[in-house]
């Protein structure tokens, strides 16, 4: 790593962000007829006509525009896009009777799925808090706090700790098995850490700080493997490890399931989740103004596992998942794992000084820009072969949206700028 290489990587990412990624979404996502965002696009960037607006796609889009505006990109246009999304979220997706946000509407705003899912509510807290930080509009923090309060009332397990995830419209816990009511997940607790971090940053409320610290402790003591420090995907209510099954409402991993249960269901971990956990933990500690050493082992175990087993040194990028002890199960390349480990490897390099993390960052950087970016439109292919040939070709849908890609580039540029500052 040297000054010239740092400048090259920074320039490549900045060009990609400002000339490809943000223009792709800014030019086509706003639904000026019905409000909110259109999020389903084919490989050519054309609207597929899919008649749905999910809570995940709407909140993640709001976060993208608000966070990019806050980071200094795009000028007032991005703040206006974020406001446009918040208007739809509050006006069409908020449940005035029971509180919380519906899971899905159609394009016109008619509710298609009225379930309350903590995963989605966490992204509402995240994006609305970010929106207030970026624009000063108090509506964001107001609704973020209301969702936070609802989760404390309905989703907290007061016996074993942590949060349940799957609820009916009236916040009645759903049934077991595919209903998901008898399980807890890495996903929801990691994204609650992410959400509570930004909520506390916006509110500075002692309760938000306390609940953020609680969820960090749960992640480090319950959710991450006690030996390897890697993420365990699903648990029973009492925190015993549960086989990873497919829920009725799913996000992104259903392609792996045979008969609703993953192969090696008791022994699989995501390299992307481990990297994402690591850098989100560091960010939370920064917001809390706590020393890194407080959770040094948790961060370093998660990132070292991704470094030692997840990096494809031959073809570039990172694999999807493998065992806790190291065996790689899935050697394909999915967009969001690359995104999260761009950030995670840069953080690990800055914290530890281990040059292997810089080498890992470089191999993911090159794979993304040379193979994963669809050159015709500027967004990333969602799923590729190990060698870098597209398997899935859509540019956007309810689960593949701008949140991972745009955030990764903005956050990586910020970290490269900190490294560049060391040369001046």
The two tokens of residue 341 are 């480990």
Rounded to whole angstroms, the Cα distance separating 107 from 292 reads 44
pLDDT at 93 over 60: yes
Rounded to whole angstroms, the Cα distance separating 144 from 99 reads 12
Q: What is the pLDDT of residue 268?
A: 84
Q: Where are the domains of the chain?
A: 3-421
Percent of the chain with pLDDT over 90: 90
How is domain 3-421 classified at the CATH fold level?
Answer: Glycosyltransferase (1.50.10)
pLDDT at 253 over 50: no
Q: What is the pLDDT of residue 262?
A: 59
H or E element in which residue 391 lies: strand 390-392
pLDDT at 423 over 90: no
Rounded to whole angstroms, the Cα distance separating 106 from 103 reads 11
Q: Name the burial class of residue 240, with classes exposed (0-12), middle (13-18) and buried (19+) by CB atoms within 10 angstroms of its CB.
A: exposed
Q: What is the rounded average pLDDT of the residues 265-281?
A: 90
Span 132-143, pLDDT tens digits: 999 999 999 999
Span 25-40, pLDDT tens digits: 999 999 999 999 999 9
Q: What is the pLDDT of residue 260?
A: 52
Q: What is the pLDDT of residue 251?
A: 55
Q: What is the rounded average pLDDT of the residues 162-186?
A: 95
Q: What is the rounded average pLDDT of the residues 382-405?
A: 95
Q: What is the rounded average pLDDT of the residues 47-70?
A: 97
Mean pLDDT computed over every residue of the chain: 94
Q: Coil, helix or strand for 242? A: coil
The two tokens of residue 117 are 């899912």
Percent of the chain with pLDDT over 70: 96
pLDDT at 186 over 70: yes
Q: Answer whether 38's CB lies under 8 Å from 47's CB.
A: yes
pLDDT at 258 over 80: no
């Amino acid at each position: 790593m040297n000054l010239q290489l740092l400048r090259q990587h920074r320039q490549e990412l900045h060009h990609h962000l400002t000339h490809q990624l943000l223009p792709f979404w800014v030019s086509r996502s706003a639904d000026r007829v019905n409000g909110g965002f259109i999020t389903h696009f084919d490989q050519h960037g054309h609207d597929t006509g899919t008649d749905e607006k999910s809570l995940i796609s709407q909140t993640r889009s709001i976060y993208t525009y608000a966070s990019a505006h806050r980071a200094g990109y795009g000028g007032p246009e991005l703040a206006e896009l974020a406001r446009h999304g918040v208007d739809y979220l509050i006006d069409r997706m908020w449940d005035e009777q029971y509180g919380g946000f519906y899971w899905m509407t159609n394009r016109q705003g008619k509710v298609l799925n009225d379930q309350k899912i903590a995963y989605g509510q966490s992204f509402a807290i995240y994006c609305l808090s970010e929106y207030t930080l970026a624009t000063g509009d108090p509506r964001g923090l107001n609704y973020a706090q209301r969702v936070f309060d609802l989760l404390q009332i309905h989703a907290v397990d007061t016996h074993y700790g942590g949060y349940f995830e799957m609820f009916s419209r009236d916040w009645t816990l759903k049934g077991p098995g595919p209903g998901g009511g008898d399980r807890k997940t890495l996903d929801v607790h990691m994204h609650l850490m992410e959400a509570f971090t930004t909520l506390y940053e916006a509110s500075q409320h002692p309760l938000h700080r306390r609940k953020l610290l609680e969820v960090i402790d749960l992640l480090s003591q319950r959710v991450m493997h006690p030996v390897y420090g890697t993420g365990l995907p699903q648990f029973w209510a009492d925190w015993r490890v549960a086989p990873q099954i497919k829920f009725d409402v799913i996000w992104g991993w259903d392609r792996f399931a045979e008969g609703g249960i993953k192969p090696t269901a008791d022994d699989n971990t995501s390299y992307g989740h481990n990297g994402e956990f690591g850098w989100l933990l560091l960010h939370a500690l920064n917001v809390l103004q706590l020393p890194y050493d407080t959770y040094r082992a948790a961060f370093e175990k998660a990132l070292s596992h991704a470094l030692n087993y997840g990096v494809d040194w031959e073809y570039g990028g990172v694999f999807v998942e493998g065992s806790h002890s190291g065996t790689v199960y899935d050697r394909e390349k999915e967009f969001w794992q690359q995104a999260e480990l761009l950030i995670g490897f840069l953080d690990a390099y800055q914290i530890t000084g281990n040059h292997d993390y810089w080498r890992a960052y470089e191999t993911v950087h090159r794979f993304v820009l040379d193979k994963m970016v669809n050159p015709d439109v500027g967004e990333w292919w969602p799923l590729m072969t190990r060698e870098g040939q597209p398997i899935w070709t859509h540019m956007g849908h309810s689960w593949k949206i701008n949140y991972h890609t745009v955030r990764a580039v903005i956050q990586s540029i910020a970290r490269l700028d900190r490294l560049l500052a060391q040369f001046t």
